[in-house]
Amino acid sequence: MKQPKTRFYCTECGNETPKWAGRCPACGAWNTVVECPETRGKGGGRTSVRVTERPRACPMTELQDSVEIRFSTGMGELDRVLGGGAVKGSLVLVGGAPGIGKSTLMLQICGRLCEFAKVLYVSGEESQHQLKLRAQRLRVERENLLVLSETGLEEMLEAVGQERPDVLIVDSIQTLYHDTVDSPAGSVSQVKDCTMALMRLAKESGITVFVIGHVNKEGSIAGPKVLEHMVDCVLYFEGDRHTFFRILRAAKNRFGATNEIGVFEMGDGGLTEVENPSRMLLSGRPEEAPGTCVACVMEGARPVLAEVQALVVTSAGGQPRRTSNGFDYNRAVMLLAVLEKRGGLKLSSCDAYLNIIGGLQLDEPAADLAAVVALASSYLDKPVPGDLAAIGEVGLTGELRSVSQLSQRISEVRRLGFKRCVVPAHRGLEGDSELRLLPVRNIGEAIRAALQG
Ligand code: TYD
Ligand code: MG
């Protein structure tokens, strides 16, 4: 008899290798390659309904027009991230750190979904009693909302077959267990196998499936990363657990764009949607304090204002420290070098810290200028006026470059009540009585314009 084959997976990126390695050849992470015995058959998840017809390739022109059927989840911010509502028969993976609010979000959408659909919420994390308490708290108790506390995949699929829900929510993929796979719940082969079965269920029965998956920083358990390629849509729920703000972001979407974000606030009654993220991100901003400047970035189609904070202090000696939080590290280091060489600030003997408030990740060059101004403001110990924002990309010669959708960004700055905005000069834009534009050509001019007011 043939020996069952063994495969190896990286728990970090999901890469499969025939041999064990101390370092994953795909992502380069150390000690993340784990062994997992191959399951019987291929692909696993053979429990759902099987297609009996023979497969046949078909000319594209003969395919019937199929329009994806979308429905609103009742939460505008979630609909936005999904690309305009959830698609019938799709599988959406909702990932995030434990305790960030994934279960809360999913249970909350049940309340609205139940108005027109039958929803089954399967939890392997909480008992029915706990779910009841949580549903009471979130005020989502409905007759159409069925709950099941179960970790067995087969049992769950049986319940699905009996109840025939329109929407299935699985909380979480790490607690789901399939008997035919000989490894513990939460292992790579278990989560892959169970996801495959759920994917098949969604496609064959038209049930919309939401699957919750925990990610942890160490990547020690099989997280949503290894499932990304299988599912239709991957959403990440992010935010600092110590603040109230939560950001939902699409990492993959077969039915829409991935650049939209949804913003929520966690409160006593669960999550509430934040329709004006700029206002939220700027709340509590210290005015007239050195080392902070407001930037404007595009999150999908929406301009969002964010506060960039910098702290520059004399280094205690040795290699100066540089850290950045919410801002690309390499970009921050580059901006520091440009400030040193072209702005004349002696930063090489200073430690520099850059931080974006509110858990936002600024990965757009348009935020360069605000970072440069914040750094200079901290170094010179001069505050940036509270009614001033800065938009622009900084080049290696210290020149300022224009950015896309500048007029949209400027409108957002105006809407939020700012009076002055530093912008790249080479652009035929004009300010008005409400918002004065300060056109600058390089970082030297920008620092002077921003810190002299
Ligand atoms: P939860 O949805 O259980 O997180 P996850 O499923 O991602 O692990 O949410 C956990 C946190 O949210 C918990 O620490 C308490 C907080 N919370 C509130 O602040 N208000 C609420 O109404 C609820 C339900 C939870
Ligand atoms: Mg949970």
What is the token pair recorded at 22? 């101390």
**pLDDT for the residue 453:** 57
Q: What is the DSSP string of 321-332?
A: PEEEESB-HHHH
Q: How far is the CA of 2 from the centre of ligand 1 (A)?
A: 48
Would the CA dihedral through 340, 341, 343, 344 be positive or negative?
positive
**pLDDT for the residue 46:** 45
Q: Return the closest-CA partner of residue 211 out of 159, 223, 220.
A: 223
At 47, is the pLDDT very low, low, confident or very high (cuts 50, 70, 90)?
very low
Number of the ligand 1 atom closest to the C-alpha atom of 137: 22
Pairwise pLDDT comparison (358 vs 94), residue with the higher score: 94
* Enclosing H/E stretch for 423: strand 420-424
**pLDDT for the residue 439:** 94
Same domain for 148 and 25, yes or no, is no
**pLDDT for the residue 372:** 97
Same domain for 202 and 229, yes or no, is yes
What CA–CA distance (Å, rounded) separates 361 from 408?
Answer: 20
At 3, is the pLDDT very low, low, confident or very high (cuts 50, 70, 90)?
low
**Taking residues 315-336, what's their average pLDDT?**
93
**Taking residues 195-204, what's their average pLDDT?**
94
**Taking residues 189-203, what's their average pLDDT?**
93
Same domain for 269 and 288, yes or no, is no
What CA–CA distance (Å, rounded) separates 355 from 311?
Answer: 9
Residue 44 pLDDT > 60: no
Which of 244, 275, 306 marks a domain boundary?
A: 275
DSSP annotation of 362 reads B
At 43, is the pLDDT very low, low, confident or very high (cuts 50, 70, 90)?
very low
Number of the ligand 1 atom closest to the C-alpha atom of 106: 2
Residue 359 pLDDT > 90: no
- Supply the residue whose CA is at minimum distance from atom 12 of ligand 1: 101
**pLDDT for the residue 327:** 95
Q: Is the residue at 1 inside a domain? A: no
Q: Is the residue at 48 inside a domain? A: no
CATH code where residue 177 lies: 3.40.50.300
Q: What is the DSSP string of 118-168?
A: -EEEEESSS-HHHHHHHHHHHT---TTEEEEE--BHHHHHHHHHHH--SEE
- Supply the residue whose CA is at minimum distance from atom 17 of ligand 1: 270
Q: Is the residue at 55 inside a domain? A: no
**Taking residues 169-184, what's their average pLDDT?**
90
Same domain for 297 and 261, yes or no, is no
What is the token pair recorded at 274? 């934040």
- Supply the residue whose CA is at minimum distance from atom 22 of ligand 1: 270
Same domain for 129 and 254, yes or no, is yes
**pLDDT for the residue 217:** 65
Cβ contact 219:29 at 8 Å? yes
Q: Is the residue at 50 inside a domain? A: no
Q: Give me the count of residues in the chain.
A: 453
Which of 212, 245, 275 marks a domain boundary?
A: 275
pLDDT digits (tens, 9 = 90+) for 378-416: 999 999 999 999 999 999 999 999 999 998 999 999 999
Gyration radius from the chain CA atoms:
25
Q: For a pocket test of ligand 1, which of 174, 266, 268, 271 has the largest count of ligand atoms closer than 8 A to its C-beta?
A: 266
Q: Is 261 in the pocket of ligand 1 (CB under 6 A)?
A: no
Same domain for 261 and 118, yes or no, is yes
Preceding amide of 72 cis, omega within 30:
no
Same domain for 214 and 305, yes or no, is no
311-348 core/surface letters (b: 16 or more CB in 10 A; e: else) = bbeeeeeeebeeebebbbeebbeebbebbeebbebebe
**pLDDT for the residue 318:** 84
Q: What is the mean pLDDT of the chain?
A: 88
Q: Is the residue at 268 inside a domain? A: yes
Q: Is the residue at 355 inside a domain? A: yes
At 1, is the pLDDT very low, low, confident or very high (cuts 50, 70, 90)?
very low
What are the distances in angstroms from CA 182 to CA 158, 171, 189, 195, 362? 21, 21, 9, 16, 43
- Of the listed ranges 3-7, 258-262, 291-295, 427-431, the least confidently predicted one is 3-7
**Taking residues 110-119, what's their average pLDDT?**
92
Q: Is 104 in the pocket of ligand 1 (CB under 6 A)?
A: yes
Q: Is the residue at 291 inside a domain? A: yes
Same domain for 310 and 399, yes or no, is yes
Same domain for 121 and 92, yes or no, is yes
Cα of 172 vs its chain's centroid, Å: 18
Q: How far is the CA of 293 from the centre of ligand 1 (A)?
A: 32
Q: Is 25 in the pocket of ligand 1 (CB under 6 A)?
A: no
What CA–CA distance (Å, rounded) separates 29 from 82?
Answer: 31
Same domain for 158 and 245, yes or no, is yes
Domain span at 368: 280-451
pLDDT digits (tens, 9 = 90+) for 239-294: 877 778 898 989 899 998 887 889 999 998 899 999 888 888 888 888 788 999 99
What CA–CA distance (Å, rounded) separates 118 from 167?
Answer: 6
Q: Return the closest-CA partner of residue 424 out of 408, 443, 448.
A: 443
CATH code where residue 434 lies: 3.30.230.10
Total tally of structural domains belonging to the chain: 3
Would the CA dihedral through 432, 391, 400, 449 be positive or negative?
positive
**pLDDT for the residue 42:** 45
Cα of 257 vs its chain's centroid, Å: 13
Q: Is the residue at 63 inside a domain? A: no
Residue 101 pLDDT > 70: yes
Q: What is the DSSP string of 265-313?
A: EEETTEEEE-S-HHHHHHTTPPTT-TTEEEEEEEETTEEEEEEEEEEEE
Same domain for 299 and 444, yes or no, is yes
- Of the listed ranges 23-27, 105-109, 374-378, 420-424, the least confidently predicted one is 23-27
Same domain for 313 and 388, yes or no, is yes
